[in-house]
């Protein structure tokens, strides 16, 4: 059964979930990673496989501007630290999506952030290991802020492609960064 979840950050800087069990809503205190407090949310996604259960992932930034994820393994919630970027500091959140390479593949979570040097970065799962990817900036323009992320599947048998929308500093135009799939 699919269950809706809503994640919020409380005045106490902890992550909370409001979820539906099929007949009523429940609140769950996810707390915060040990010794940290939750600064802001990045996004929430559900990872699944075509034949497996859905697993929620709630990505957040903590007070030290590092990404963390509260995720469900089927019986217990866990916090996992997603590491600092190489020689960079995360300054803003952008969003989270899942990407499916084929209609029968599993969903791969991806979380997007903007760094202090105005680059867009992605934290993505390949099915076995998490990776960081620097998506850079539009030619000659720093990234000001994010507008949103989405995946697009052009036909029922096509791979999903991520589209990331950003606003640039100098002229406030909307730009899109997207993955071309052969």
Higher pLDDT, 92 or 1: 92
CB 131 within 8 A of CB 110: no
Residue spans of beta strands (DSSP E) within the chain? 5-9, 15-20, 25-31, 38-47, 55-62, 67-72, 77-81, 90-99, 108-115, 120-125, 130-136, 143-152, 161-168, 174-178
CB 90 within 8 A of CB 61: yes
Q: What is the CATH number of domain 5-178?
A: 2.120.10.70
Question: What are the residue ranges spanned by the domains of the chain?
Answer: 5-178
pLDDT band at 50 (very low <50, low <70, confident <90, very high): low
pLDDT in tens, 105-145: 888 899 999 999 999 999 998 888 999 999 988 888 888 88
Its pTM stands at: 0.87
Whether residue 166 has pLDDT greater than 80: yes
Mean pLDDT of 38-60: 83
């Amino acid at each position: 059964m699919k269950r809706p979840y809503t994640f919020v950050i409380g005045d106490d800087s902890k992550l909370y979930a409001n979820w539906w069990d099929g007949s009523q809503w429940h609140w769950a205190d996810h707390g915060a990673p040990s010794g940290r407090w939750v600064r802001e949310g990045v996004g929430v996604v559900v990872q699944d496989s075509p034949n497996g259960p859905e697993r929620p992932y709630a990505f957040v930034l903590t007070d030290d501007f590092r990404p963390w994820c509260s995720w469900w393994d089927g019986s217990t919630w866990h916090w996992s630290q997603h590491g600092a970027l190489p020689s960079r500091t995360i300054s803003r959140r952008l969003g989270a999506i899942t990407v499916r390479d084929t209609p029968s593949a599993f969903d791969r979570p991806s979380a997007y952030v903007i760094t202090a040097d105005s680059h867009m970065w992605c934290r993505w799962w390949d099915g076995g290991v998490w990776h960081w990817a620097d998506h850079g900036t539009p030619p000659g323009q720093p990234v000001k802020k994010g507008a949103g992320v989405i995946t697009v599947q052009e036909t029922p048998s096509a791979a999903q492609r991520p589209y990331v929308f950003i606003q640039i500093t100098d002229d406030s135009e909307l730009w899109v960064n997207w993955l071309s799939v052969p």
